[in-house]
C-alpha cells in the first residue's frame, strides 16, 4: 500500500537526519489517512520529531506554528478516533499536552507568535422536539371465548418468553463467533511480535502500524464479546422466566372453567374444574 511505503520513507529520512524530507513525507501520509484512523497518532509523532529537528537546524517561526497546529488538530479528533477505547484517551491527551508544552516553551523563548485556537467540541445540532400529542383513551372490551376463560393473554406471555430466549441464544452465538475472530486476531498480533523478537530487532514502521491496528481491533472485539455475552445472557434469563410464568398461568387457568347455564326451568352458571 502506497501510504505505508510513504510512511516507511519518512521514517528512513528521519533516521538519516534528513528532517525536512521526513516532514514533507509525513505531511503527505497525514493528509492521506482518515481522521478517525488510530494510525494517525503514529504519523503525528513522526511529524513532531521531524519538525523539531527542522527547527533545531533552522529556527523559523512557521515550523513551530505548523507543528502546534498539527497537535491541536489531532487533539480535537482524539475523542472521535478512540471513542471505543475511553481508557486510552487520557493517556493520549497527556502525551499531546507534553508535546505542546515543549513547543510553547520554544515559542515563548524565541518570541514566536502563533495563532491559538482553543479546543472546542463541535456543538450538537439543536433538534426541535415536537409538541406532545394528546390521544384519547379507548376502552376495549374483549369478549370471553366459549370455554369459560380467555387464554390469549397467557399465550402472549409464552410467546414473549420464547422470543426473548431466541434473541438470547442468537446473541450468545454471536459472542462465540466474535471470540473466534478475537483469537485469530491475537495470533496475528503475536506473530508480528514473535518475529521481531526472534530476529532480535524492533518493529519496522509497517509492522508497527499493522500491530497497532491489530491491537486496537482486539480491544474492540473484547468489548463486543463482553457486551453480547451479557446482553444475550440477560435476554435468555428473562425469556426463561417469562416462559415459565406464562406456562404456569395457562395450567392454572385451564383447571377452572365458568359457563352460563340456561334452560326453560332454570338459569345460572356452570362451574367446572380439575383438581
Look at residue 35 in the predicted model and tell me its pLDDT.
60
Query: By residue range, what is the domain housing residue 208?
Result: 152-273
Q: Could you list the mean pLDDT of each consecutive 10-residue stretch along the chain, which spans 275 residues?
A: 75 86 84 69 82 83 82 77 71 82 83 60 48 47 48 78 89 90 88 83 81 87 91 91 84 58 51 50
Look at residue 49 in the predicted model and tell me its pLDDT.
86
pTM of the full structure: 0.39
- Residue 133 maps to a domain: no
The grid coordinates of residue 224 equal 463486543
What's the CA gap between 170 and 129, in Å, rounded?
36
Look at residue 212 in the predicted model and tell me its pLDDT.
87
Cβ count within 10 A of residue 55: 21
Structure confidence by residue, pLDDT tens digits, 60-112? 878 878 888 888 887 777 777 766 667 777 878 888 888 888 888 888 887 87
Domain with 11 in it: what CATH number?
1.25.40
Q: Which of 110, 135, 166 is the endpoint of a domain?
A: 110
Look at residue 122 in the predicted model and tell me its pLDDT.
43
Look at residue 247 in the predicted model and tell me its pLDDT.
83
Same domain as 261, residue 205: yes
Amino acid at each position: 500500500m502506497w501510504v505505508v511505503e510513504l510512511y516507511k520513507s519518512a521514517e528512513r529520512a528521519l533516521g538519516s537526519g534528513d528532517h525536512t524530507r521526513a516532514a514533507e513525507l509525513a505531511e503527505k501520509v497525514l493528509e492521506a489517512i482518515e481522521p478517525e484512523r488510530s494510525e494517525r497518532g503514529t504519523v503525528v509523532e513522526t511529524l513532531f520529531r521531524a519538525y523539531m529537528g527542522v527547527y533545531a537546524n533552522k529556527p523559523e517561526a512557521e515550523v513551530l506554528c505548523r507543528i502546534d497546529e498539527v497537535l491541536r488538530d489531532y487533539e480535537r479528533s482524539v475523542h472521535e478516533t478512540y471513542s471505543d477505547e475511553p481508557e486510552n484517551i487520557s493517556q493520549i491527551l497527556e502525551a499531546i499536552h507534553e508535546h505542546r508544552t515543549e513547543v510553547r516553551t520554544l515559542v515563548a523563548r524565541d518570541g514566536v507568535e502563533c495563532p491559538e485556537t482553543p479546543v472546542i467540541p463541535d456543538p450538537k445540532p439543536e433538534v426541535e422536539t415536537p409538541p406532545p400529542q394528546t390521544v384519547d383513551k379507548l376502552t376495549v372490551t374483549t369478549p370471553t371465548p366459549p370455554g369459560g376463560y380467555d387464554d390469549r393473554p397467557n399465550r402472549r406471555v409464552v410467546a414473549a418468553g420464547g422470543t426473548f430466549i431466541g434473541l438470547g441464544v442468537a446473541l450468545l452465538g454471536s459472542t462465540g463467533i466474535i471470540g473466534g475472530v478475537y483469537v485469530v486476531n491475537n495470533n496475528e498480533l503475536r506473530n508480528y511480535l514473535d518475529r521481531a523478537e526472534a530476529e532480535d530487532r524492533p518493529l519496522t514502521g509497517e509492522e508497527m502500524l499493522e500491530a497497532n491496528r491489530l491491537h486496537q481491533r482486539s480491544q474492540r472485539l473484547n468489548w463486543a464479546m463482553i457486551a453480547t455475552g451479557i446482553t444475550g445472557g440477560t435476554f435468555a434469563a428473562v425469556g426463561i422466566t417469562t416462559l415459565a410464568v406464562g406456562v404456569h398461568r395457562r395450567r392454572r387457568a385451564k383447571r377452572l372453567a365458568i359457563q352460563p347455564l340456561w334452560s326453560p326451568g332454570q338459569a345460572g352458571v356452570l362451574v367446572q374444574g380439575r383438581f
